[in-house]
Amino acid sequence: MKKVMNTAIVYFVLAMSSGVFYREITKLNDFMGQTVLAVVHTHLFALGTGLFLLMAVLFKLTHLEENKLYKKFYLLYNISFPLMIVMMVVRGMIQVQQRAISTSMDAMISGIAGLSHIGVAVALLMVLLAIKKEMLNEM
């Protein structure tokens, strides 16, 4: 329980920081357009803080914390999700600074972002299956 609450707190701090970062970096660069940085804040709140607060509640209701699939989810998710966020920040900074990047650099950023999204999707499927198992065991 402590680990999952600490994880939620870390994602909360990152979410708050990313909101301030977005506001300040766009102001500093006189940027008025669309950027991926605008959604980093909400991703961190919903998929970071929100998800792990839900896990804390489920820990109280089930034995999810002991589930092997949950443990694999936790590891995969906390590798993939931060990588996804980093790639969103990289893409957003390129947009804010209006830098031209090579096609190969653009492809690399998109590829890493795509792999991290796949990791998040697989991890979420794993936790859904773990929750299903635990909920069925409780009945």
pLDDT digits (tens, 9 = 90+) for 95-131: 999 888 999 999 999 999 999 999 999 999 999 999 9
Domain total for the chain? 1
Provide the 8-state DSSP code for 47.
Answer: I
Query: Is 138 a residue whose pLDDT tops 80?
Result: no
Per-residue pLDDT of 10-44, as tens digits, reads 999 999 999 999 999 999 999 998 999 999 999 99
Tell me the backbone φ, ψ of residue 36, rounded to 5 degrees: -65, -25
User: Taking the CB of residue 63, how many other CB atoms lie within 10 A of it?
Assistant: 13
pLDDT for residue 57: 94
Residues 78 and 7: beta-carbon distance below 8 Å = yes
Full residue range of the structural domain in which residue 77 is found: 2-138
Note the pTM of the prediction, 2 decimals.
0.91
Provide the 8-state DSSP code for 117.
Answer: H
Per-residue pLDDT of 46-103, as tens digits, reads 999 999 999 999 999 899 999 999 999 999 999 999 999 999 999 999 999 988 899 9
Q: Report d(CA 70, CA 85) in Å as an integer.
A: 22
Residues 37 and 25: beta-carbon distance below 8 Å = yes
Query: Is 139 a residue whose pLDDT tops 60?
Result: no
* Long-range residue pairs from 70-77, CB within 8 A, at least 24 positions apart, any chain: 70/126, 70/127, 70/130, 72/126, 73/123, 73/124, 73/126, 73/127, 73/130, 76/119, 76/122, 76/123, 76/126, 77/119, 77/120, 77/123, 77/124, 77/127
Residues 36 and 95: beta-carbon distance below 8 Å = yes
